[in-house]
Amino acid sequence: MIATVNPATGEVVRRFEPLNDREIEDKLACADRAYQSYRRTGFADRARWLTRAAEILEADRDRLGRLMTLEMGKPITAARAEAAKCALACRYYVEHGERLLADETVDMGGGRACIKYQPIGAVLAIMPWNFPFWQVFRFAAPALMAGNVGLLKHASNVPQCALEIETVIRQAGFPSDVFQTLLIGSSQVERVINDPRVKAVTLTGSEPAGMQVASQAGRQIKKTVLELGGSDPFIVTPNADLDRAVRTAVEARSINNGQSCIAAKRFIVDARIAPEFERRFAAGMAALKVGDPMDDDTQLGPLSTQDMVEDLDKQVRCSVEMGARVLTGGQRSAGPGYFYPATVLTDVPVQSPAYREELFGPVAVVLKYNSIEEAIRLANDTEFGLGASAWTNDEREQRLFIDEIEAGMVFINGMVASDPRMPFGGVKRSGYGRELSAYGIREFVNVKTVRVA
């Protein structure tokens, strides 16, 4: 079902019919025609349109934020900030896009040689619901600046966000059909990937979705970028500023109602300070204000769907049955809406779901260590490798964490966050490829070698 369902109430607000085969064909044809002319536009024109998109996002962030909150339940203050962050990404590529894709001269000892970065065509973006605007714009801004065109298959529970993004890009002045939303179900995605007019695919989502898309695209020999799950460690040493570490831990676990791939999920704490950390952390999580996500004071809203609540509750209950201890929360919320309380688990068995699986909701796991080497081992004892945060003021420990943690991003004394200036992505089962920065804009271009003798 492609529909807006208010997660705070469970009410079905609006339903949408998926595109049929003829409508999909029309959109693919339009994308191909748009690319043939758009690829010849200059950076100055693209920068002008992208600047206008940023202005629209900033000016209309309250309305856009309310739409995000309605469809997936994030607190309204975070939704407004998400719209503004999308504008930030647009402005980054306005300022730096032309330089990042400029021809590079190579000294070959005679004649002329250079490397050119040229667009490749239509890129299909398969995007998730948890950051319904930011996930799209961190793909769309560099892709459009590079001269590609975009096709968006968004999550089925945020259709109005998907359509609104297309509207923003059209209102910004981009040529017709340079960016189109495809309201289609998962079963229709393979047909789009297989179409020769689609040149590449980027996906942010679950491991099963990533495996399926990579397999389908691989059979067509098409480039993919995958940003999948994460079970990010948050290491706290006795050399850390414990007050800052605890405050950030609460924010890092509850951000976006706990539904973020880079949210800290496993809190790995030195055994000597673990009792104090647990006491403060559990108190901070319990103090979060839960309520209507449209209320500016709300800190923790509902999960996105009924299935998400049921899956998370099952993971917690199973872990507790296996021996995990609940410090706060742990009981599914009563009443309407898809709410789950802020929860902290400790003494978690190694084979339990809370230890081995990604918890996509406001549930934290506290693990204890007795040496820095054990902390690193615990941090790496996961199939994922997206982000990691480590808290210490000891330079030797900082170097060890930076060098030895298996992750695409390591933050010292700070919360893992995405920024247009830095590459974003992971290793292991968290996927491959990078978004944002110079690396993101060069993922979907033809890196062409030119030699004139």
Q: What is the pLDDT of residues 71-82, one digit of tens each?
A: 999 999 999 999
Q: How far is CA 78 from CA 230, 369, 414, in A?
A: 21, 34, 19
Q: Looking at residue 333, what is its pLDDT?
A: 86
Phi, then psi, of 412 in degrees rounded to 5:
-100, 125
Asked whether the beta carbons of 125 and 162 are under 8 A apart, the reply is no
Q: Looking at residue 203, what is its pLDDT?
A: 98
Q: Looking at residue 111, what is its pLDDT?
A: 93
Asked whether the beta carbons of 411 and 251 are under 8 A apart, the reply is no
For the chain, how far is it from start to end, CA to CA, in angstroms?
A: 59
Tell me the per-residue pLDDT of 361-377, one tens digit each, with 9 for 90 and over: 999 999 999 999 999 99
Asked whether the beta carbons of 76 and 294 are under 8 A apart, the reply is yes
Q: Which residues pair with 344 in a beta bridge?
A: 328, 364
Q: Which residues pair with 99 in a beta bridge?
A: none
* The one catalytic residue among 261, 278, 406, 443: 261
Pick from 157, 360, 357: which is nearest to 254 by CA? 360
Task: Compute the C-alpha angle 10/13/14, nearest 5°.
Answer: 135
Q: Looking at residue 281, what is its pLDDT?
A: 98
User: Residue-wise pLDDT tens for the chain (453 aa)?
Assistant: 999 999 999 999 999 999 999 999 999 999 999 999 999 999 999 999 999 999 999 999 999 999 999 999 999 999 999 999 999 999 999 999 999 999 999 999 999 999 999 999 999 999 999 999 999 999 999 999 999 999 999 999 999 999 999 999 999 999 999 999 999 999 999 999 999 999 999 999 999 999 999 999 999 999 999 999 999 999 999 999 999 999 999 999 999 999 999 999 999 999 999 999 999 999 999 999 999 999 999 999 999 999 999 999 999 999 999 999 999 999 998 889 999 999 999 999 999 999 999 999 999 999 999 999 999 999 999 999 999 999 999 999 999 999 999 999 999 999 999 999 999 999 999 999 999 999 999 999 999 999 999
Asked whether the whole model's pTM tops 0.85, one would answer yes
Asked about 161 being catalytic, the answer comes back as no
Asked about 227 being catalytic, the answer comes back as yes
Q: How far is CA 358 from CA 230, 263, 416, in A?
A: 6, 10, 16
Pick from 364, 430, 356, 369: which is nearest to 397 by CA? 369
Strands 409-412 and 387-391: parallel
Q: How far apart are CA 262 and CA 242, in angstroms?
A: 21
Cα radius of gyration (the chain):
23
The full set of domains in the chain, from first to last, is: 2-228+430-452 (3.40.605.10), 232-420 (3.40.309.10)
Q: What is the DSSP string of 313-332?
A: HHHHHHHHHTT-EEEE--SP
* The one catalytic residue among 71, 164, 227, 397: 227
Strands 343-346 and 325-328: antiparallel
Alpha helix stretches (DSSP H) within 19-102: 21-38, 43-59, 61-72, 76-100
Q: Looking at residue 194, what is its pLDDT?
A: 98
Identify each DSSP E strand in 78-159 by its residue range.
104-105, 112-119, 122-126, 149-153
Alpha helix stretches (DSSP H) within 220-296: 242-254, 274-286
